[in-house]
Amino acid sequence: MSNQYYIPNSLTTSSLSQSSPQDMPAQNSFLSQVSFDPSNPEARCACVLLFDTSRSMAGDRISELNQGLIEFQSSLQEDELASVRVELAVLSFGNQVKVEQDFVLAEQFQSRPLYASGSTPMGQAVNLGLDMIEQRKQVYRQNGVAYYRPWFFLITDGAPTDEWRSAANRVRQAEARKSLAFFAVGVQDANMNTLQQFSMRPPIHLKGLRFRDMFVWLSKSLTSVSRSQPGEQVPLDQQAALGPMGWGEV
Amino acid sequence: MTSAKATNRAHLSSGLSLPWAMQVTATSLLLLMAFKGIMNFNAANKNTEQTVKKNGRHQRCEPTEVPTTQKTTDSHWRFAGASVVGSSHIKSQAPCQDAFQYKALATGEVVIAVSDGAGSATKAEEGSTFIATKAVECVEQLLAQTTPGCQEDWLALVRTAFAATRNALSEKAVADEAPLRAYAATLILVILTKDWTVCGLIGDCAAIILNQVGELCSLCTPQKGEYANTTNFLTQSDALECLNIQIKAESAQGAVILSDGLLNLALNLASNEPHPGFFQPLFAFLTAIQNEQEATTQLAAFLKSDRVNARTDDDKTVVIVSKA
């Protein structure tokens, strides 16, 4: 993963163009002439998605995940503000840790199907995801782009097969500094005790293979965060199909 | 997300560094007056000179002579202001949490306050309304008792006004049996006189003035924490340390004060420079309108328009003031 010190396309001004003043009342010619500053990039809400693509995910699990990801993309892209504020990166861990997608604006995100094989190098994947978030914040700061607290969303159906404790500690320390919001989801017979070690926030166990509901929830949550105002607690959607949430607010 | 505090610290304009003890003394003096209204500050200081250290050299700070005739307003001011609830609050059925207050004082100065309630504060709209009203009241009382003649005087006055407003809010919280944080809100205070332009800010509102030669200038920079949705609030325990004050020894032709819902439309956020295309039509609008009520109605309609709401779903406040 290269360091990005250039201004990526996604950081230039948003696709929300200044709309014409045609909807202004005719008698008010001065107010209809008010124009808006075109140079402010939208604030960014970065989200890293980490998907377990180990052997055990093959079959229904990975196909439901892939389907959910498609719906996630369309749900986000339906929201005008979320499209230009949410940035997504996708990492998979199975045979190897792979950057499926480097950070890209939601409006440009194109989901691709994931394939399952190999073991579960979760520790390495989490470490890489943390590095990517820190580097992304640097790019924002260097380019004068405001940003929200980034999200980290991990889905696994098993347990790590590599060294993971240092990654778990890094996550906990980052949470203590409020430098990210970490969510872990365990599928089927995932090792929830291990997942518990990663975060202050209790991991969620997915009901069945309801990836789509989970992704709709995630899309709504990211949309809320991306338009949240100072001092606002962002309530997570309590009616999510995931059932009673162990956590309250972000 | 809980509101994180920005790391901005109060700073004096023009690189002045007043010894802390003198600041506290000046502030305490004014606080005493504000609360008890006993001492006539002008009488006590009319024939004395204060000296302050500026850049290592002592500099005279001459108090303004109080003219023997009653001060008359040699210019009239026009105002228009509107607060409109954002579409995000419409969806959640929350009320507008912005508030503003403005007044042309009998002594000729103009005072404007805008306050933006914190999204999570349970009594945000009560907080912002109380703060905006109280801040203008405090400034009016202070200016009835004193005529600031130098930067240090204005610095002390603004600090006193913010402190007094915060104290009054604390007392209200106690009386209402609610925690102070329930009323969390930002505050920007702008004072225009025939010789001075003064701005105090805790939070992320913005003030842009039109100076005597027709240039647009930003006053205090809106305060943001690491994250886009974090700022400072008047209710936080170190609020007064986050107070930013800008003082210019010149008069302004007009000013526009905004809550943060309009920031990314009106300013270049990286440089804090005002976007002329936003402000010039607003001043022209105010000049053309004859009736303050009509101006307010049209301004509110503008803030509710589709093209504004395509860019922001926050509550929006704009107050425009200009010399008639």
Task: Report pLDDT digits (tens) over A116-171.
Answer: 999 999 999 999 999 999 999 999 998 889 999 999 999 999 999 999 999 999 99
CA distance B134 to chain A (A): 22
Report the mean per-residue pLDDT for chain A. Answer: 84
CA-based nearest residue in chain A for residue B184: A231
Best residue in A12, A35, A37, A143 to probe B by mutation, most B CBs within 10 Å? A37
Residue-wise pLDDT tens digits, A167-189: 999 999 999 999 999 999 999 99
Over 70: is that where the pLDDT of A208 sits? yes
CA distance B227 to chain A (A): 5
* B306–A23 C-beta distance less than 8 A: yes
Q: Which of B86, B26, B90, B75 is nearest to B52 (CA)?
A: B26
CA distance B117 to chain A (A): 8
Q: Tell me if residue A147 falls in helix, strand or coil.
A: strand
Residue-wise pLDDT tens digits, A9-49: 445 444 443 444 444 443 468 999 999 998 888 899 999 99
Q: CA–CA distance from B32 to each of A8, A110, B45, B237 (Å)?
A: 56, 65, 16, 22
**Position A227 confidence tier, pLDDT thresholds 50, 70, 90:** confident
Query: What is residue B54's predicted lDDT score, i.e. its pLDDT?
Result: 36
Q: For every residue of B50-94, which 3-state class applies, written as one string?
A: EEEEECCEEEEECCCCCCCCCCCCCCCEEEEEEEECCHHHHHCCC
Query: What is residue B31's predicted lDDT score, i.e. its pLDDT?
Result: 56
User: Which residues from chain B sit within 8 angstroms of residue A24, using beta carbons?
Assistant: 302, 305, 307
Chain A residues 160-219 with a CB less than 8 Å from chain B? 178
Query: What is residue B71's predicted lDDT score, i.e. its pLDDT?
Result: 32
Walk along chain B (324 residues) and give the pLDDT tens digit of each residue: 334 444 333 333 333 344 544 544 555 555 555 544 433 333 333 333 333 333 333 333 333 333 333 333 345 899 999 999 887 777 777 788 999 999 999 988 999 999 999 988 999 999 999 999 999 999 999 999 999 999 999 999 999 999 999 999 999 999 999 999 999 999 999 999 999 999 999 999 999 999 999 999 999 999 998 898 889 999 999 999 999 999 999 999 999 999 999 998 999 988 899 999 999 999 999 989 878 888 999 999 999 998 898 788 789 999 999 998
Query: What is residue A212's predicted lDDT score, i.e. its pLDDT?
Result: 87
Query: What is residue A108's predicted lDDT score, i.e. its pLDDT?
Result: 96
Single-letter code of the amino acid located at B309: N
DSSP state at residue A24: S
DSSP state at residue B246: E
Query: What is residue A236's predicted lDDT score, i.e. its pLDDT?
Result: 54
Q: pTM here?
A: 0.76
**Position A228 confidence tier, pLDDT thresholds 50, 70, 90:** confident
Q: How far apart are the first and last CA of chain A?
A: 29
Q: Give the helix, strand, coil percentages of chain B, each rounded to 5.
A: 40, 25, 40
More confident residue, A235 or A161: A161
Is A110 an 8 Å CB contact of chain B?
A: no
